[in-house]
Amino acid sequence: MLDTIKLTLDKTMFAILDIDRFEKGMQNSLRGYFTFVQNPTKTELRQGIYKPRLTLTNRFNCSGRSEKTLSVELSIPKLIFGNNFDELTNKHFPKIIEKLQIILKEMGAYVYKHNLINAPVSAVHYSKNITLTDYTTPYTYLEQLSKLNINQSLDTDRTSFRNEGHSFKYRTNSFEVVFYDKLKDLRQAKKSEKRAEEKNNTIQLNLFDTLNPKKPFEVIRLEIRLNKRQKINQILKKINNEVTPTFENIFNQKIAKKVLLHFINEIENAYPPLLTYQQNNPSKLFDGFLIANPNIKPKKMLEMLGLKHILEDVGVRGFRQITKRYGNSTWYSLNKEMQKLKTAKIPSVFTLLRKEITTFKPLKLLDFQDQMINNDKYN
């Protein structure tokens, strides 16, 4: 449902009880700007103690008056469950507010409950853990996702098949769409947090260690990270849920589901139609092309057949990189022809993702205790 959230409180919404709990951060004395920060320590995380990340900012406005803000960033499932595999529902909200208020007070900041409830949201990460118990692996899904026709202005180069294919991400300054192998990510974090997609994982490094391995069990995780308030408002408008982005309004299962489905729709639309044809035998594939698209000449179909094989190998971005010496017109021309093709059956990759998000059943780790598989990759 919802994982990470960042709340930004103005000076009327909080009181600092103990500034000594904060450490000095960034500062620019000439501009009257400074920050104090307080983050959970690795020792606390190892002990199972989870706390938000706090940033107290002070700046002087044009009239010379001091303006303070307090940002509170946290993974809500880790706050409540100690992990972000177990998923939240709307009914958890009162407990979240109560526990967050207590922890903030322990950290030297006091916030009334009604101020937490109505706190402005400046960033939010909606998420869904999707379990695979049919002997498929996250790599199967990530490999197909890496072939998406993502706009070139989005940065996917450095994260496509990161760490031997355990994650795929595309991003801009205002949002990120991330898919990754949840179990393998925890394994990477045990070696080095820098190698993991999810940071601050210490609290849940041994999450799956105590389960009794019996049956297939893999997890692919989807996160939609809306990192700016403007982007949050834009997406809320697109899903026809224009509400003020406060903590209470944003923490909503209905909105979370709509946001995730909105991006799944975009992802399906970005999947090259040629790759929906699953037949590998060249002659049968060619024949299938002609039957499904009787108005396209055989010469053009041969061109599409060649394009399909390259896209299967390196994806759209890889193909565009190979042909960049000929300019963008090469890809645009081929893509225009490809879009004329009738789409075959949508790959099961997207069928499962859509089904799980549409169902939107909250997952709990204990529900899968008898479905673990003994797999060296997670030992």
Using DSSP, state whether 204 is helix, strand or coil.
helix
Higher pLDDT, residue 280 or 135: 135
Q: What is the pLDDT of residue 123?
A: 97
Phi, psi of 155 (to 5 degrees): -90, 105
Mind listing the pLDDT tens digit for each residue in 287-313? 888 888 888 888 888 898 899 989 988
End-to-end CA distance of the chain: 28
| DSSP letters spanning 225-265 | EE-SHHHHHHHHHHTT-----BHHHHS-HHHHHHHHHHHHH
**Residue 249 reports pLDDT greater than 90:** yes
Q: How far apart are CA 8 and CA 126, in angstroms?
A: 18
Average pLDDT for the chain: 84
Q: What is the pLDDT of residue 259?
A: 97
Lowest-confidence pick of 40-49, 93-102, 235-244, 356-365: 40-49
Higher pLDDT, residue 184 or 194: 184
Q: How far apart are CA 249 and CA 370, in angstroms?
A: 36
| CA distances (Å), origin 276, targets 45, 151, 219, 242 | 45, 20, 24, 35
Mind listing the pLDDT tens digit for each residue in 21-47? 999 887 776 666 889 999 998 888 888
Whole-prediction pTM value?
A: 0.85
Looking at the DSSP bridge assignments, the partners of residue 38 are 54
Q: What is the pLDDT of residue 158?
A: 43
Lowest-confidence pick of 51-65, 78-92, 270-284, 340-354: 340-354
Q: Under 8 Å CB-to-CB from 315, ≥6 apart: which residues?
A: 146, 147, 148, 160
